[in-house]
Structure 1
């Protein structure tokens, strides 16, 4: 069954709600506005039953500027990071914490805190950002512990979206750095011990914004697309230097994982932009299959964020290394972003993907959670109710599950009527059914960027 959600109806659904924190910059208004305080709360009230097998932390990172000099030139991607976390154990929500990723002295000094993603690797918790900065290490209770350069082995930039290979225990990243890396990006591999094992320069033109990458058993995939550094944007006084370039050719690079820059197979693709791929795998016929949230264009006229030019659809790309072309198919034309899948199927052929519906309004930029079956083309949705929407759907496999959709979806839900947030746990096998548990949070969590489930078996309590 395919659900149809009319975006016009979605906007009408929130039209009667109060507009919270109005601002001339829509990315500083409503639930995109930062929160001022660091909060700690214990024994969080919960409706429903938290699965006892969930023992660890749900973490989420996003920009949370303490002050903005000029709202009209401020960009949503800027502002020091703030990590929100909920610790689950024994069927209870033991605590909620939110912490800036930098201590007060570093924030007062004007340093930029990693504000895009957060996760656990090599026994530590990292806050990450694209565009050059190394990760910032956090303690188990989210206290900032300073920059982590992978035990001194990271000489260049890093990314907000490394890809994990469960067969090798490695992290792979595609990194750009404005303004230092003018003519290339860097491909970096980090071993399971948290030390860099490979670094490779990949020549590119015009300094493209490469937000993410994909990984298969054979290839590291480079997205060299139509958003690049634009000096006219900078001279006009805007803080974020990237802009859509309609004349720039788009291409996707297949870098053999054991090869060099000269071995990349560049494949043409129609002009577009991709922030986030869902998953990628090597097909039996030699092609590479990637599902992506694809924008026809982005950052054309919007200088404050990504959602007022175009919205993304869920598409499938079949990359042909022989023809050096990309064949594109639309999986779902509803606006959606922040794709996730079962991590046990990373680098493998997948069937299911989970995304957050995007609603561009002053109240709420998220709606339902959409589950897409790429085999049948059908979709199901989890609706949160009037004026409520869920953010990025983090997939946690069930301990004894074998089916691809056997897992829990963790997502933070904002209620525009009450101006409050909850952490919801959904059953991915019954996505349209009621939530398994709803955990009340002591303050709202702004719609930010990315997070992960970090089990205690990955990063132990200290």
Structure 2
């Protein structure tokens, strides 16, 4: 049986790279001084295509160093768990799976992140694994792949989930100094896969949606066959009902096995709802609003509008129902959800029908009213070959095509100056050429989507997840 997440540009590369003397077409803007970082699943060893889930592959981080108009190097490194000769994970976390979902710079550190109670790791400037990420020992337990930085305070806000926490998720605030400032447990309906959240100037928004922990997938082949049914019954009785103490949960390594199945599935009996909490509030202050069943991996952004909270999201009709290899069930489209706090209701409208994912905005408008957003659109062949620029001011979108046989990943925006307009900047992302089987780091003018420069790599960067621009002032 084949697995599309092990084929084409999803297939893993088999070695780490350090490359210099990179050729460039066009002109790299002189003000770009830092690293473009991206991370994704890249299994170290051969895997079983029948059980492999894209989310579960060993993590590999890729980076290109830009300075003075030059591309100084490209590096790729596996995020090293103890199984790969790396450091022990953070206290209260699982370290059986390498961080593979997001990589960003904060408080002078480079952080490789993942969700579901798995340890993140700190990396060096050159992307080597240094130590577990626990924010100077102030955070115990897992973190998330999708923190949001408040553009005014510089704080990292996050919502984390873990099967061992039972019917709770956790809201945290990490200060600009890289240490925990606030932690609040939020009661939810069971043990959901809460991949992401939204933040406004006044509120935290939770997406409590019908993908939940499934003990049938959590008990792996290393558990003797004779006791697997009992083990599943124990997990069914415990998960989503009571909290599992951290030492016990951390010892239960089987639910998250590297390069294996993801133990979360579509659950049609689980209500879909959105929760809105004041930033300074607690679990009792969350207001829950039921919505039509769906799943949201990635919002564009959110903002307050009087008594309303406006959410721009990529909506999947469902995920991990019949296809357990990756998110491939129904077309993901852009919707605007408006939570009317005064009326106690949620309205929704379709913004764009084209199948798309990996939405991004200018980081300076996170939690504030935004005009522009950028996403990756998929063609009939299932490949992402188009970048969309959404203009929420006019309700229109323009497309940039990259040509036959070329596919793209997420593109990240960086402004040309601190006070530049919202689309006055550079978009950065990898473009894979199937014929040559190699990738370029492509820089686009965010206003026109025209190519500014391309850094040509003599190797391939697999389709991965997320990345960020790490300016030199915030390097590890």
Q: TM-score, normalised by structure 1?
A: 0.90
1:171 matches 2:151: no
**Structure 2 counterparts to residues 99-114 of structure 1, below 5 A:** 99-102=77-80, 104-106=84-86, 111-114=96-99
After superposition, the Cα gap between the structure-2 partners of 1:259 and 1:332, relative to the gap in structure 1 and judged at 3 Å, is same
| Bigger Cα displacement from structure 2, 236-245 vs 378-387 | 236-245
Inter-partner Cα distance in structure 1 for 2:120 and 2:9: 26
Inter-partner Cα distance in structure 2 for 1:302 and 1:206: 22
1:258 matches 2:280: yes
1:198 matches 2:220: no
Deviation track 1:322-357 (CA, whole Å, cap 9, x = no partner) reads 333221111100010000011111111111110011
| Bigger Cα displacement from structure 2, 180-189 vs 446-455 | 180-189
**Structure 2 counterparts to residues 40-439 of structure 1, below 5 A:** 40-102=18-80, 104-106=84-86, 111-178=96-163, 180-234=164-218, 239-284=261-306, 286-307=307-328, 309-359=329-379, 361=381, 365-399=383-417, 402-431=420-449, 433=450, 435-439=451-455
Deviation track 1:86-126 (CA, whole Å, cap 9, x = no partner) reads 00001010000000111641499983210100000011000
**8 Å contact 1:68–1:74 — kept in the other structure?**
no
**8 Å contact 1:225–1:249 — kept in the other structure?**
yes
After superposition, the Cα gap between the structure-2 partners of 1:311 and 1:107, relative to the gap in structure 1 and judged at 3 Å, is farther
Q: CA deviation at 1:382?
A: 1.1
Deviation track 1:289-346 (CA, whole Å, cap 9, x = no partner) reads 1111101111110011112x11210111111123332211111000100000111111
Inter-partner Cα distance in structure 1 for 2:162 and 2:380: 29
Q: CA deviation at 1:69?
A: 4.0
How many residues align structurally? Answer: 431
**8 Å contact 2:86–2:129 — kept in the other structure?**
no
Q: Secondary structure at the match of 1:355?
A: strand
Deviation track 1:382-437 (CA, whole Å, cap 9, x = no partner) reads 11111112210101111166321111100100111211100000001002x3x111
Q: CA deviation at 1:360?
A: 6.8
**8 Å contact 2:51–2:261 — kept in the other structure?**
yes
Q: Secondary structure at the match of 2:442?
A: strand
Q: CA deviation at 1:212?
A: 0.8
Inter-partner Cα distance in structure 1 for 2:418 and 2:152: 20
Inter-partner Cα distance in structure 1 for 2:97 and 2:357: 25
Q: Secondary structure at the match of 1:347?
A: coil
**8 Å contact 2:87–2:130 — kept in the other structure?**
no
After superposition, the Cα gap between the structure-2 partners of 1:145 and 1:360, relative to the gap in structure 1 and judged at 3 Å, is farther
Q: Secondary structure at the match of 2:5?
A: helix
Q: CA deviation at 1:233?
A: 4.0
- Where in structure 1 are there 5+ consecutive unaligned residues? 1-22
| Bigger Cα displacement from structure 2, 115-124 vs 23-32 | 23-32
**8 Å contact 2:209–2:294 — kept in the other structure?**
yes
After superposition, the Cα gap between the structure-2 partners of 1:360 and 1:65, relative to the gap in structure 1 and judged at 3 Å, is farther
Q: Secondary structure at the match of 2:413?
A: strand
Deviation track 1:137-158 (CA, whole Å, cap 9, x = no partner) reads 0000111102021111101220
Inter-partner Cα distance in structure 2 for 1:290 and 1:398: 27
Deviation track 1:156-198 (CA, whole Å, cap 9, x = no partner) reads 22000001112222111100012x1121111111111111111
Aligned to 1:458: 474
Out of 30, 33, 36, which is 2:11 matched to? 33
Inter-partner Cα distance in structure 2 for 1:253 and 1:425: 37
Q: Secondary structure at the match of 2:115?
A: coil
Inter-partner Cα distance in structure 2 for 1:302 and 1:236: 19
Q: RMSD of the alignment, in Å?
A: 1.9
Q: TM-score, normalised by structure 2?
A: 0.87
Inter-partner Cα distance in structure 2 for 1:69 and 1:405: 42
Inter-partner Cα distance in structure 1 for 2:401 and 2:276: 38
Inter-partner Cα distance in structure 2 for 1:183 and 1:255: 17
Q: Secondary structure at the match of 2:43?
A: coil
Q: CA deviation at 1:58?
A: 0.1
